Amino acid sequence: MDYQSFFQTELTALKDDGRYRIFAELERRAGSFPRARHHVDGDVNEVTVWCSNDYLGMGQHPSVLAAMHETLDSCGAGAGGTRNISGTTHQHVQLEAELADLHGKEAALLFTSGYVSNWAALGTLAARMPNCVVLSDALNHASMIEGIRHSRAECLRFKHNDPADLDRLLATIEPGRPKLVAFESVYSMDGDIAPIAEILDVCEKHGALSYIDEVHGVGLYGPRGGGVAEREGLMDRIDVIEGTLGKAFGVMGGYIAASAALCDFVRSFASGFIFSTALPPAIAAGACASIRHLKVSTVERTQHQERVAHVRRRLDAMGIPTLDNPSHIIPIMVGDAHKCKMISDWLLEHHGIYVQPINYPTVPMGTERLRITPSPVHTDGDIDRLVTALSEIWSQCALARRAMAA
Ligand SMILES: *Cc1c(COP(=O)(O)O)cnc(C)c1O
């Protein structure tokens, strides 16, 4: 086989489809977010980032940076090993206690990322519970799907956010079999939120273990930033809460929070936990500082929601078609991969506005979009520039608008 020409042919096909991914090379500036430097062909331009998952700007928060500096200077760079072999530091233990408290659970278990936490926890639970059946929401994240697939357990997909369909599927399974129901709170591409209470009713009715991915909820919802389940008073009814430290908490890492026995079980059997070097202590300390701050401070959450509502109002007034949802994610629907990329390029080149196009396979073909994530630190002026630029390109390209708000 001519390996190199095979790779090239596959890449050319991707480019022809408008699905080839080009990374923007950014230089983040602590204290200036959402501003960043954009490096392109040897030039550097200032841009405003509108698609970051550092939803609250915690990646530049003084308490987080202070904790990381302090720990880096006192403990050094890396953890020095896997958790089992010299890699469990004081900072890891403190962070796990903080996470267990955040979710009102007996224990928590850290992983190197949210992806790894889903992959390892779901993979281990589904593989090790004898004859387990997994019920997976149709729009679950790739990390959950990969974990379930890796377990080789039987998997049934239920219709997205549809407790009745879940109920119907669970009723077909022998009552004695272990059942694991995996779903998310906030779905990150459409920004819709699961009917968590109704899903839990169905889980309890059938004696199924419930597993929720709160990656896009933690830090952002609930009185202490425990997520949508905290806001709705449901955390104690959920068996496993999974989250990331890399999005609203602004650092890096992933975790599950659950009973002491379940966490100990995953700790003891999950290959993706056992055989990988622990997070650096400075990362753990930074994440811990971020969680502690957001447990008691609500200004970031309040301002975040206010900014989101403001952007939505302005886009609606211009007739820019967005997907309605009750979350902080604003999908602007374009519906064509080439157009989506062209708009994104134009915003970057002419307005210093960075919004990454979201194309297949991240979203279904025909639903290509720009995914806008306002933060508490986007100003009225930033919003004005974004909306004005979008309106301009919508006119230039004769893109469809929806009925103008009165
Ligand atoms: C980003 C994401 C993850 C993975 O989290 P990382 O910490 O970025 O690895 C898991 N689930 C969902 C729904 C996500 O969007």
Ramachandran bin of 339, using left for φ above 0, alpha for ψ from -120 to 50, beta for the remaining angles: alpha
- In whole angstroms, what is the distance from residue 73 CA to residue 70 CA? 5
Residue of the CA atom closest to atom 7 of ligand 1: 114
- In whole angstroms, what is the distance from residue 270 CA to residue 366 CA? 38
Output phi, psi for 89, to 5 deg.
Answer: -100, 170
Which whole-number Å values give the CA distances from 240 to 57, 92, 108, 275, in the listed order? 27, 19, 10, 22
Q: Judge whether 229 and 238 are in contact, CB under 8 Å.
A: yes
For residue 230, count other CB atoms closer than 10 A to its CB. 22
Residues lower than pLDDT 70 in the chain: 403-406
Q: Judge whether 158 and 165 are in contact, CB under 8 Å.
A: yes
Which pLDDT does position 400 carry in this prediction? 79
The torsion of the CA quartet 16, 21, 25, 31, rounded to 10 degrees, works out to 130
Which pLDDT does position 406 carry in this prediction? 40
Say if ligand 1 is within 6 A of residue 54 CB.
no
Has this prediction a pTM greater than 0.95? yes
The two tokens of residue 355 are: 């919004």
Mutation test of ligand 1: which of 55, 136, 141 has the most ligand atoms closer than 8 Å to its C-beta?
A: 141
Task: Specify the length of the chain in residues.
Answer: 406
Say if ligand 1 is within 6 A of residue 143 CB.
yes
DSSP string, 126-148: HHHSTT-EEEEETT--HHHHHHH
Which amino acid makes up residue 201?
A: D
The two tokens of residue 287 are: 């994440």
- In whole angstroms, what is the distance from residue 260 CA to residue 264 CA? 6
Say if ligand 1 is within 6 A of residue 246 CB.
yes
Which pLDDT does position 404 carry in this prediction? 56
Residue of the CA atom closest to atom 6 of ligand 1: 114
The three-class DSSP label of residue 150 is helix
Which pLDDT does position 397 carry in this prediction? 81
Ligand 1 atom closest to the CA of 246, numbered from 1: 7
The two tokens of residue 272 are: 């993706």
Ligand 1 atom closest to the CA of 116, numbered from 1: 9
- In whole angstroms, what is the distance from residue 136 CA to residue 209 CA? 12
From the list 242, 100, 129, the residue with the least C-alpha distance to 182 is 242
Which pLDDT does position 303 carry in this prediction? 98
- In whole angstroms, what is the distance from residue 215 CA to residue 229 CA? 12
Say if ligand 1 is within 6 A of residue 373 CB.
no
Which pLDDT does position 26 carry in this prediction? 97
From the list 311, 390, 379, 385, the residue with the least C-alpha distance to 346 is 390
Say if ligand 1 is within 6 A of residue 244 CB.
yes
Ligand 1 atom closest to the CA of 244, numbered from 1: 7
